[in-house]
Structure 1
Amino acid sequence: MMRNDEMLSQLKAVECPDATYPARDPALVMHRAKGSLVYDVEGQEYIDLCAGFGALALGHNPDAHIHVLTERLHVAPGTKAPLITHGMGDVYSSAAKVELLKYLPSLMPPTLQVAALALTGSQAVELAVKSAMLATGRSRFVVFGGSYHGLDIGILPLTERADFRAPFRGFLREDRVVSLPFRCDSEELAKVLSSGDIAAVLVEPVQGRTGCREAGVEWLQILRRECDRFGTLLIYDEVFTGLGRTGQYTFGETVPCDLLCLGKAFGGGFPISACVGTDAVMAAWPSSTGEAIHTGTFFGHPLSCDIALATLREIHAGGWVERASNLGQEALRWLRTELKDHGLVREIRGIGLMIVIELVDAGLGAKFMDLLRSKGIIALASGPRGESLSVTPSLNIPRALLMQALATIKVGLQELKGT
C-alpha cells in the first residue's frame, strides 16, 4: 500500500482542487475502521472524534450495519433472489422504504408524522423549503447569522456565510432571504414577519459549523410564538443535531416546529436524509400522478433505508441518546476543569456529544487539528474564523477511549501554546 502523502499526490492530480482539504503535516488517507478507531493506509491508528461530521452515530462498521449487509447478500430459503438493490422510489416503492417510514415517526414529536426522503442534508433542507412554499403560498425565508444549511445551489442563499455564496452570486436570488442576528429579539423578528410574505423561519437549534452555538429553549419559544402570530412556518435544521447528538432525539420534543430536517446520523454513515412535517404542511404536496414534482433517482434507496432503520432501532434500543447526554456532560466538566485558565482557551461549550473548544485566535483551531492528527486524534476545526476545535464522537464511543483522547487534547494544547 502507498504512503499517505503519495496517495494525496495522486488525488490532487485527478480531483477538483476544492473537493478535499490538502492536509499533509502529517498526511492522512483513511483506509479501515471499527467503532471509534480509524486506520490509515500505512496502518497507523487514530481515535475518531469527528465521526464523519457526526454522521457515524454508531461508529464505523457497527454490528447492526454488518448484519444488514450480510442479510442482503443472502438468498433466504424459499425465495428466488437476494433483496432488491435499487428500487424505483417515486414509481414502485421498496419494502425497505415502507418499513423505515413506518418506524421513523416513533422517534419524532407527535405532530411530525409525515416524511419525504432524500440523500443529503442539503436536500432535506430543500424539501423543507419547497414544503413551506407550497403550504403558505409565500416564497421568502428568514435565516440567522452564522447559519449553515448546505451548499446546493437552490439553498445556498440560506447559508449565511458570504464566502460560500460569493462565487455564484450572479445566479442566486438573495432577495428571497432575510438574515437576522442569531438570537435576535422578538421585535426585530416581528418587524420582518409582519410583511406577510415570509414562508418560514429556518433555524439550527445548535449551530454546528459555526462552533456549537445554542439557540436556547427560550429563544426557540420566541420564534414559535412570532411564527404563529404571523402565519409563518418554523423549520428546524437538525441535520447535525438530530437523533441523539445533543442528548435528545430532536429539539421538536421541547419546542414544536412545523418541519424538521434530518441527515447525518439518520443513515449512520450511509447517504440518506429526510424532511419530516406536520400532516397539514405535507398535505400541501399534490398527489403524484406518476410524474413527481420533487424526486431523485436514489431517493429512498433500499440499502440506505435498511441501514437507516437498523441505525434508528439501535440508537433507541441501546439507550445511546441518554448516554450521549451523560457522557457529554462528563466530558464537558473534565475539559472545563483541566483547561481552566489555559492561555489559549477562550471558552468550552457543548450539549451532549457536541462539544467545542474555542481558542483565542483565528486559525488556531485548524492548526490544532493538524497537531492532534500527529498524535493519533481525528478532530475538526470549526467556527467562522477557524478558531475552534469540535469534538463530535460517535454516540457509543467507549468512555475510556474518549477520556484518553481528551487527555491527548490537553497535552496537545500545551504543545500548541509553545509553538
Structure 2
Amino acid sequence: MQTHFNEQDLQKPHIREADRVLRTCVHCGFCNATCPTYLLLGDERDGPRGRIYLMKQLLEKPDDKEIGEETRLHLDRCLTCRNCETTCPSGVEYHKLLDIGRAEIERRAPRSLKERGLRLGLRMTMVEPARFKALLALGQTFRPMVPVTLKDKIPAQPTPAGVRPDGKKHSRQMLILEGCVQPALSPNTNAATARVLDQLGIGLAPAPEAGCCGAIDFHLNAQDAGRERARRNIDAWLPLLEQGCEAIVQTASGCGAFVKEYADILADDPDYAAKARRVSAAAKDLVEILDSSNLDDLAISADKRLAFHCPCTLQHAQKLGGAVEGVLQRLGFELTPVQDAHLCCGSAGTYSITQPHLSRQLRDNKMAMLEAGHPEVIATANIGCQTHLASADRTPVRHWIEIVDEALGSAQQT
C-alpha cells in the first residue's frame, strides 16, 4: 500500500511505525473472510482492509482537518481479535496499526463526556481486584435493578477457591499473575493451577507488588496508563526472575498476550526496553508449562466430554492454537469438534459492554458451534471468554485447568 507521509511526519515514531505496517498491506482482502464483524455486517469498513484505509486517511490528514465520527465507529467495532493477522499472507501487524489509529483519533477528536465517563468507569472498576470484588457482590445482591446491558455480566456465585499447596517445597519456582477480575469471577482457577503444578513439581511464588497487566487501560485508549502498569509489574517481577523463578505463568490468555507484548509497547523507553524484553520472554501461558511437562505424572480420571473454545488471545495473539486441545487429549479427555473455531466469541475485553449488540450476536453464534457436539462442559482459557459465554446460561463454561484439577482429585480419591 502506498503512503503519503512527508519527511516531517516520518520523524514521529508512531507515524513511522504506521507507515511500515501500512506498506506491508497488499489489498488482497483475505482478512475480511475471517473477520467476525465483517461476516456479521458485510460492510467493508467493518473489515480489516476497510479499517486500514480509514486509518491511513486519518493519519495522512493534517491536524486541522475534521475527523469524521464514522472512523471512530468502525474502529470501535473492531474486536482486536487478530484473526486477520493469522489469515494475512503478507504478515500485516494490524493490531499495532489499530493501537496507533485509535490513539490518534482520541487525540484529535475527544469522545463525548458520556463515553469518556463509561471508559473511565470500566478502567477504575476492573483493574483493582478488591474494588471489583466488592462491586460484583453488590451487583449480585441487587441484580434485578442492574441495567440490562450489565445484568448478564453478573454471574452466579463461582466455584470457591480450594486450598493452595505450599509451593516453597519445590526447587522449581514460577510466578503467577493473579489477575484483576478473575479472583472474583473464578477464584478457583489460580488455586487449581497451583494444585496441578504442585503435582508436576512446580511451586508458585507470590509477587504481591504486581497488579493489573495494563491491557484494560491500553485497549480503552489510555495507553500511557497501560504502559505505566507494565513498568510497575516489571519492577515487581524482574528481581524474582533474577533470583531463579523460571517463568511468569498466565492463566488468562488475554493477560498473557499483553505481557508478552511489553517488549513492543516499551521498545522506545530507554529505562525499560531491555527489562521489558526479559519479562516478555519469561511470560508463559499455562498451557506452555503443561505441554512441555511429563503428563504421565498426572494420573487423572478424565471422564468428561468437552468442547474447547480457544480464545483469540491464545490462538491469534500468542499463536498457541491447538495447544490446550493437545494437552487435554493427552490427558484422556474426549473433545467434540467445533466448527469455525477461529472466530471470536465477542467478549474481547470490555467489548461486550461497549458493543453489547454485536457482542451478543457473536456469543450466540459461538455457543451454537460449541454445543453442536453435545459436550457436558465448555472449557476455555480466558476469564473474559468464560464469563461472556457463561452469560448465555446454557452449557456450563469453565477454565480448562479446573477440569483437569477435578479429574486429578477424582483419581487420587480412587
TM-score normalized by the length of structure 2 = 0.26
Q: Which has the higher contact order (CA 8 A, sep 6+)?
A: 1
Which one has the bigger helix percentage?
2
Which one has the bigger strand percentage?
1
